Amino acid sequence: MKEYDLTALRSFVAVVDSGSFYNAAIQLEASSAAISRRISALEARLGVKLLNRTTRQLDVTPAGQQFYQDVTGILNALEQAEERLSCTQETYSGTVRLGAPLSFGMKKLAPLLPQFMRQYPRVTLQLQMDDRVADMVTEGLDLALRIGHLADSTLVSRQIALLPRVFCAAPDYLARQGTPHSPAQLRHHALLRYSLLSARDEWSLPESSHPAEFYTPLAVNNGDVLACAAIAGMGIAMLPEFMVEEALQTGRLVRLLEEHAPAPLPLSLVRPSRQFTPLRVTALMQFLHASLGEEQ
C-alpha cells in the first residue's frame, strides 16, 4: 500500500470544496503554488489525473470525484479519532471559525464569548463579523449565525430563535410628518431601507401599496447606520428589536404599528454539510443555542 502525505490529501479536499487553488490556499494558510505542487505530487504517486486545470476553470475528473469521496471519509474518521482522545470538557482544544452578522455580533454575541472561552480555555475562536452572506466553504468557516430565511443549500442549518422586529421613528420625525396608524399609511412616509433585502421582501405588508410606490430616501447595508438615521429623524425604519432596544427605552425612537408588527426573523446556526462535526464546534453550537434561546 502506498504511503500518503496527509497535507497533500487535505489540500486536494480543500481545492475540491472551495473550487480553486487560490481559495484552498487561503483556507490552509499556504500559497497557491504550494497547493498546486502538493496535488501534482499526489497525482504522480497515484498515477491518476485528479483535476483538469485550465486558465478559466478547474474540473474534478471521475477518478478525482471517487478519490475525493473516499479521502473525505478518511479525513473525517481521523479527526473524529483525535477528538475521541480528548473527550473531556477540560481538554477540548483547537480553533473554531465563527461567522456572524456585524450588528448582532457586537450587541448579542460579543458579551457571551468570554463565558464560552472561560468554559473552554483551550478552544481558540476566530470571529468573522460581516453583514454579507459568506461562503462558508471558501472562507473556511466552521459555524455561522444567520438572520433571516435561508436559501436552499448544501449547508446544515438549525433555527435556534426568533428575533422580533419593530417599526420605529424619532419623535421629531413624527411631529413633522404625522404618525401612521395603518400599514397603508406608510406610503405617505419616508421608509429607510436595509439594502441587503429587496424592497419587496422588506416592506411587503398587508394593506400596503406596491413596494415600488414607497418613498425610500436612504438604503444602507448595515442596521446600526439605519438605526442612527431613524434616530436623526430621517424616516421610519423596520429593524430587529435588539438593535433599537436602548433607543426605544430612552425615547429617542418610538415604536409604531404595534398591532401590525413585522414578522420576526429566524436566527439559525449554520455549518458545512459534513458527516462529522468536531466536538469543539458542537460545544459552541450547544452554548449558543442555550445562550440565545431566550430570544425565541
Q: What is residue 16's predicted lDDT score, i.e. its pLDDT?
A: 87
Q: Where are the domains of the chain?
A: 6-85, 91-163+266-295, 165-263
Strand order of the β-sheet with 254-256 is 215-220, 190-194, 236-240, 165-169, 254-256
Amino acid 137: pLDDT: 74
**Alpha carbon 296 to chain centroid, angstroms:** 19
Residue whose entry in the numeric block shows the C-alpha cell 450588528? 103
Question: By the 8 A CB rule, do 258 and 241 touch?
Answer: no
Residues of the chain with pLDDT under 70: 1-2, 55-56, 80, 82-91, 152-154, 197-213, 273-276, 294-296
The pLDDT value recorded for residue 17 is 81
* CATH 3.40.50.360, domain 91-163+266-295, yes or no: no
The answer to whether domain 165-263 has CATH 3.40.710.10 is no
Pinpoint the alpha helices (H) of 50-170: 62-85, 102-104, 113-119
The model's pLDDT over 119-164, given as tens digits with 9 standing for 90+, comes to 999 899 999 998 877 778 777 889 999 988 877 666 788 899 999 9
Q: Which three cell numbers stand for residue 200?
A: 419587496
- Residue 80 contacts residue 276 (beta carbons within 8 Å): yes
Question: How many other C-beta atoms lie within 10 A of the C-beta of residue 185?
Answer: 14
The CATH number of domain 6-85 is 2.60.120.620:
no
Task: Report the C-alpha gap between 155 and 166 in whole angstroms.
Answer: 30
Q: Do domains 6-85 and 91-163+266-295 have the same CATH topology?
A: no
Q: What is the reported pLDDT for 204?
A: 56
**Rounded to an integer, what is the distance from CA 165 to the centroid of its chain?**
19
Q: What confidence score (pLDDT) does residue 68 get?
A: 87
Identify the pLDDT of residue 209.
Answer: 47
pLDDT at 117: 94
> Measured between alpha carbons, how far is 42 from 48 in angstroms, rounded to an integer?
9
